[in-house]
Amino acid sequence: MKTNFKKIATDGILTNNPTLKLVLGTCPTLALTTMAMNGVYMGLAVTFVLICSNVIISLLRKVIPNQVRIPAFVLIIATFVTILRIVMDKLLPDLYESLGLYLPLIVVNCIILARAESFASKNGIIASAADGLFMGIGFALALTTMGAFREILGAGKIFGVELWAFRIEFFSSSAGAFFTYGLFIAMFAFISSLISKKKALKAAKAAKATVATEEVKEDK
């Protein structure tokens, strides 16, 4: 069966964005979005684990017994998280420290387990790799934009670069994290609703034009 990369990309980044639509991976979203760069780093880490685990789970989907599929998925995910932690600890110790506890918690990140269960275990390797990539991009974009928003307002910076002395301390706090998350979900839902209405209107006009054309042909 031909892989629909356009649909997979649209689902991961927009239609089923794991952070803003499915509301998965909430803990790192709230904790790490104080800075835009944290979103980039965490997004890359999750994307790596998503792609690798999706590929292996897809490869073994007909071998893993149904009764133990969830423990098997967790074991596969944990393996790649461990590899990631070892590499980062050796090569990027500062980044490893900045991500802190949320790096090992990728093992139980609902985004990765959800994609393993709903997609990778039912689709081919290439499609599963693409799903992991675009879900990871959707997650990274959401965290990065929220991090940029909070960093600009809460610290007067963007990607660590000083912009101005103006600060709103609220956005650097836990309450600010919840407020920002809710605001972004609401904005995403509003924009998605507008896009859906526009598509429905376009489809209705196309259908009406088709009916009108058929009626003209019948009259002739």
* 146 and 34 Cβ atoms separated by less than 8 Å: no
What is the DSSP secondary structure assignment for residue 192, as one 8-state letter? H
**Count helices and strands in the chain by DSSP H and E runs:** 8, 2
CB atoms within 10 A of CB 87: 12
CB atoms within 10 A of CB 158: 16
Query: Which pTM value belongs to this model?
Result: 0.86
Q: For the ranges 38-42, 63-67, 97-101, 212-216, which has the lowest average pLDDT?
A: 212-216
pLDDT digits (tens, 9 = 90+) for 129-138: 999 999 999 9
pLDDT at 126 over 90: yes
pLDDT category of residue 76 using cuts at 50, 70 and 90: very high
Cα distances (angstroms) measured from residue 45 to each of 14, 66, 72, 87: 20, 28, 21, 11
β-bridge mates for residue 158, sequence order: 161
pLDDT digits (tens, 9 = 90+) for 152-201: 999 999 988 888 888 999 999 999 999 999 999 999 999 888 888 888 88
